[in-house]
Amino acid sequence: MIKSYTLVTIFISIFFLNRCLPDHESKKNPNIIIIYTDDHRYDGLGIMQKNKIFTPNMDLLASEGLVFKNAFVTLSICSPSRAALLTGRYGSSNGVTSVGHLQKIKQDEITLAEILRNNGYITGITGKWHLKNNPKNLGFDYAVYCLGNGPYYRREFIENGEKIIAEKYIEEFIVDKSLQFIKKAETEKKPYFLFHCTQVPHMNHRFDWNVKEKTLIKYNDSNFTIPLNWYDSLEGKPAYLSSSRSRQQALKYGYGHPDSVIHHMRKYYASLTEMDQEIGRLINYIKDQSDWGNTIIILMGDNGWFLGEHQFTSKVLPYEESIRVPLIVSGSGIPKGFSESLVLNIDVFPTLMDILKLPMSENLHGISMLPIFQNTSLQIRDHVFYEAPDSQLGSYPLYAIRNNRWKYIQTFDPEEPDQLMFEELYDLKSDPSEIYNLVDKTETLDIVSVFRILMYNYLYEPSLEM
């Protein structure tokens, strides 16, 4: 599949190249922390569900920065999402389109960490890695990481090439190591880039959220209601979904009954509360004992998570709860408030290049968010493109395009990847739960035609770019 720039993307990249936030013009390079949370839904913040879920530290970060309400990932699964953020490019270009730590970012890809290290930064990765590449080969000086999924306690990590066991709660351990890295960078008086990757709220190795009872009792069943699209019969969706892993695993969890969905909601959000508590230690250190005024903190989910929507669990599928994630950007010169702009995880790379006044490669697929920091009502793109070219967790190969109102999806035959099997079109304005497929309706024929052309260009036209 050909992945490239639109003319609009090229114009924006050139126009904003070598520009920077005003507050950074006379300062040293800012410290950069990316907190990449795992299986974190877009509504998994207290500010998004007031009086229902408790994430005071992430909410504090949100109150200090800009919250993006329409942030998405290019592929909603762990490994490809990390590769996309680190390269600023789609998985079909950077080489990572499947989950697991057996796929490598291509050797000729240049990562964010490499560029920052080459420009005077100390670079570190802590937490979940989930790629075959050795972190040090991708630009990280310091690496304490675990591979894939596993238990919340007594988790195996790799530190300086040696295997160690983290006896304590995994998020506490990861924050400990992040603080260790930051203090080392401060001692050396160098700016740092920290890629802090949580495991929680991802389920543990037993497909459960191993939360403490004292956390769980903060949540009552009355906090939650069954999703409106729990009642989705899947009529108008690809037939395989009724027997897919997303539906069958959900039924094993008891999602055929509302009480089981509510029970899982409580545990999922309680796990977020426990993860938030540890992130708070990291944020509070920067705020109270470090250089808060010259630190950029970006918090983003690596993918979303179904909690009974369409009676699904897991991710990958192109519906909102799967592909939409939280995104907070906080730092000096970044406005406080909310943005409705459509943004992607691949946009983090060019944004940081803009802030640091570093030249950008023309092969980046992301678009800098810097113009949004200067005008929060600005839209930097009129749609986002989503790809899942390989069958993942029971999905068929699929692609989607989403704008501010419509979502168009194509699903392909896994045995014949060029054979289109199914199309979907949802009006997100009148049907935000994505229940009613309008692709065959007379009144949407023109809309579908436009999306088909756009999709064709993404998938088959070598002259067009992302």
**Is pLDDT of 203 > 60?**
yes
**Is pLDDT of 6 > 80?**
no
Poorest-pLDDT segment among 67-76, 92-101, 140-149, 431-440: 92-101
Nearest to 389 by CA among 73, 98, 2: 98
State the pairing for strand pair 295-301/192-197. unpaired
Q: According to DSSP H, which parts of 76-205 are helical?
A: 78-87, 91-94, 112-118, 170-187
Q: List, for residues 170-184, the tens digit of each pLDDT value.
A: 999 999 999 999 999
**Region for residue 357 given its phi and psi (left: phi exceeds 0; alpha: psi -120 to 50; beta: otherwise):** left
* DSSP summary character for residue 465: B
Question: Could you tell me which residue, 115 or 222, shows the higher pLDDT?
Answer: 115
- Residue 461's pLDDT is 80
Inter-residue contact 296 to 31 (CB < 8 Å) = yes
Task: Provide CB contacts within 8 A for 415, sequence distance 6+.
Answer: none
**Coil, strand or helix at 25:** coil
Inter-residue contact 343 to 366 (CB < 8 Å) = no
Question: Could you tell me which residue, 201 or 11, shows the higher pLDDT?
Answer: 201
Mean pLDDT, to the nearest integer, of 236-262? Answer: 97
Rounded to 10 degrees, the C-alpha dihedral 79/81/83/85 comes to -150
> Amino acid identity, residue 295?
T
**Is pLDDT of 27 > 90?**
no
**Is pLDDT of 25 > 90?**
no
Poorest-pLDDT segment among 25-29, 102-106, 257-261, 271-275: 25-29
**Is pLDDT of 466 > 60?**
no
**Is pLDDT of 344 > 70?**
yes
Nearest to 317 by CA among 204, 403, 422: 422
**Is pLDDT of 106 > 60?**
yes
**Is pLDDT of 2 > 70?**
no
The per-residue DSSP string of 316-354 comes to -SSSHHHHEEEEEEESTTPPPEEEEEEEEGGGHHHHHHH
Q: List, for residues 304-342, the tens digit of each pLDDT value.
A: 999 999 999 999 999 999 999 999 999 999 999 999 999
Q: For the chain, what percent of residues have pLDDT higher than 70?
A: 93
Task: Provide CB contacts within 8 A for 218, sequence distance 6+.
Answer: 54, 270, 273
Q: Which two tokens stand for residue 332?
A: 């000096």
Q: Break the chain into its structural domains and give their ranges.
A: 19-378
Q: Note the Cα 119 to chain centre separation in Å.
A: 26
- Residue 377's pLDDT is 97
Q: Where are the beta strands (DSSP E) in 230-336?
A: 295-301, 306-307, 313-314, 324-330
Question: Could you tell me which residue, 149 or 124, shows the higher pLDDT?
Answer: 124
The mean of the pLDDT values for the chain is 93
Q: Report the 3 state secondary structure along 250-295.
A: HHHCCCCCHHHHHHHHHHHHHHHHHHHHHHHHHHHHHHHHCCHHHE
Alpha carbon distance 53, 224 (integer Å): 10
- Residue 222's pLDDT is 87
Mean pLDDT, to the nearest integer, of 189-194? Answer: 97
Mean pLDDT, to the nearest integer, of 423-446? Answer: 98
- Whole-model pTM over 0.85: yes
The fold for domain 19-378 equals: Alkaline Phosphatase, subunit A (3.40.720)
Question: Could you tell me which residue, 417 or 155, shows the higher pLDDT?
Answer: 155
Inter-residue contact 369 to 380 (CB < 8 Å) = yes
Q: List, for residues 380-401, the tens digit of each pLDDT value.
A: 999 999 999 999 999 999 999 9
Mean pLDDT, to the nearest integer, of 139-162? Answer: 95
Nearest to 197 by CA among 340, 33, 362: 33
Alpha carbon distance 297, 318 (integer Å): 28
Alpha carbon distance 365, 94 (integer Å): 11
| Dihedral sign from CA coordinates of 414, 415, 417, 420 | negative
